[in-house]
């Protein structure tokens, strides 16, 4: 997907309206939320954890020197590393965790964030665009990054494999990721019953391995014109 295609098709709506009521969804979408027992996700959309491997493994990130995936010890380090939450035993992680994740007409945007673990995504229903910012490459000095700016990757996930839409996609740890809903078809009246996927994180998800993109970080990583195109995908 070219950058010019990176625009909201569904207006992002607040978590709750003025009266504090739940955001409203089309009936079929609300049924899916209810059947699967989904709850609001802090990134936007809905989720439920469906599996957490009882096997624990040594935390592979604990002594990581890579600033893209290491733990920040001071507030000043937070733009290039993830905050280490106090009082938690970080010596192990579940071997894997799996969630359903659902972005919907009422909550059509999963905002920019990053996990240390690599994530395997599998499509069940719907269409959307993924935007990846390869911050880890810049932080590592991997590539001859022009002006030290990060590579942006975008792709469409959907069922139309003849047109290159993806059914499976892998996001390596240390990369910022955002997603947003596309209409099921470009014709008709741009309806969607939401983008429903499964995500398996290896090793398993912990909040200590997760952080949101900050606007200062977006400014550092991207060219000004790219920031303008993508800043609507930041957490509000
Ligand atoms: N709790 C809050 N967010 C998440 C997530 O993305 N994955 C899992 N497994 N648990 C969560």
CA 204 from centre of chain: 15
What pLDDT was estimated at residue 93?
Answer: 96
| Burial group, residue 113, by CB count within 10 angstroms (0-12, 13-18, 19+) | middle
> How many structural domains are present in the chain?
1
Query: How do residues 140-170 score in pLDDT, each as one tens digit?
Result: 777 656 678 999 999 999 999 999 999 999 9
Domain encompassing residue 68: 3-233
What pLDDT was estimated at residue 89?
Answer: 86
What pLDDT was estimated at residue 128?
Answer: 97
CA-nearest residue for atom 6, ligand 1, is: 205
CA 19/CA 180 separation, integer angstroms:
26
Using the structure block, give the residue that is written with the tokens 């192990």.
Answer: 92
What pLDDT was estimated at residue 48?
Answer: 98
CA-nearest residue for atom 4, ligand 1, is: 205
Are residues 84 and 72 in contact, defined by beta-carbon separation less than 8 angstroms?
Answer: yes
What pLDDT was estimated at residue 102?
Answer: 98
Q: Tell how strand 127-133 and strand 82-83 pair up.
A: unpaired
Are residues 117 and 200 in contact, defined by beta-carbon separation less than 8 angstroms?
Answer: no
Residue by residue, DSSP assigns 164-192 as: T-BSEEEE-TT-EEEEEEE-S-SSTT---
- Going by C-beta distance under 8 Å and a sequence separation of 6 or more, which residues neighbour residue 101? 41, 45, 46, 47, 110, 196, 197, 198, 199
| Burial group, residue 203, by CB count within 10 angstroms (0-12, 13-18, 19+) | buried
- Going by C-beta distance under 8 Å and a sequence separation of 6 or more, which residues neighbour residue 219? 227
What is the token pair recorded at 65? Answer: 């020197």
CB atoms under 10 Å from CB of 35, counted, come to 8
CA-nearest residue for atom 3, ligand 1, is: 41
46 Cβ inside 6 Å of ligand 1: no
Ligand 1 center from residue 210 Cα (angstroms): 9
What is the position in ligand 1's atom list of the atom closest to the CA of 205?
9
- The Cβ-side half-sphere exposure at 42, using a 13 Å CA radius, reads 7
* CATH code for the domain in which residue 216 is found: 2.60.120.10
205 Cβ inside 6 Å of ligand 1: yes
Tens-digit pLDDT string for the chain (236 aa): 667 678 888 875 554 555 555 668 999 999 999 999 999 999 999 999 999 999 999 999 987 777 677 887 777 777 777 888 777 888 999 999 999 999 999 999 999 999 999 999 999 999 999 999 999 888 877 765 667 899 999 999 999 999 999 999 999 999 999 999 999 876 657 789 999 999 999 999 999 999 999 999 999 999 999 999 999 999 98
What is the token pair recorded at 14? Answer: 């607040």
38 Cβ inside 6 Å of ligand 1: no
What is the position in ligand 1's atom list of the atom closest to the CA of 97?
9
ipTM of the complex: 0.92
């Amino acid at each position: 997907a070219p950058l010019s295609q990176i625009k909201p098709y569904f207006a992002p709506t607040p978590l709750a309206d003025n009266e504090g009521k739940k955001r409203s969804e089309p009936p079929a979408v609300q049924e899916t939320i209810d059947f699967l027992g989904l709850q609001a996700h802090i990134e936007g959309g809905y989720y439920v954890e469906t599996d957490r491997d009882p096997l624990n493994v040594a935390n592979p990130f604990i002594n990581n020197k890579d600033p893209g995936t290491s733990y920040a010890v001071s507030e000043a380090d937070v733009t290039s590393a993830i905050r280490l939450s106090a009082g938690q035993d970080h010596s192990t992680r579940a071997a894997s965790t799996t969630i359903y994740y659902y972005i919907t007409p009422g909550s059509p945007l999963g905002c920019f964030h990053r996990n240390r673990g690599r994530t395997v995504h599998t499509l069940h229903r719907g269409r959307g665009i993924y935007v990846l910012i390869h911050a880890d490459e810049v932080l590592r000095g991997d590539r001859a990054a022009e002006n030290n700016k990060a590579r942006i990757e975008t792709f469409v996930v959907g069922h139309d494999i003849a047109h290159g839409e993806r059914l499976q996609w892998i996001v390596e740890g240390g990369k910022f990721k955002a997603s947003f809903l596309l209409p099921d078809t470009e014709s008709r009246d741009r309806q969607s019953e939401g983008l429903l996927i499964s995500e398996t994180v290896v090793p398993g998800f912990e909040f200590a391995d997760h952080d949101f993109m900050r606007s200062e970080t977006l400014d550092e990583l991207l060219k000004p014109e790219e920031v303008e195109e993508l800043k609507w995908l930041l957490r509000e």
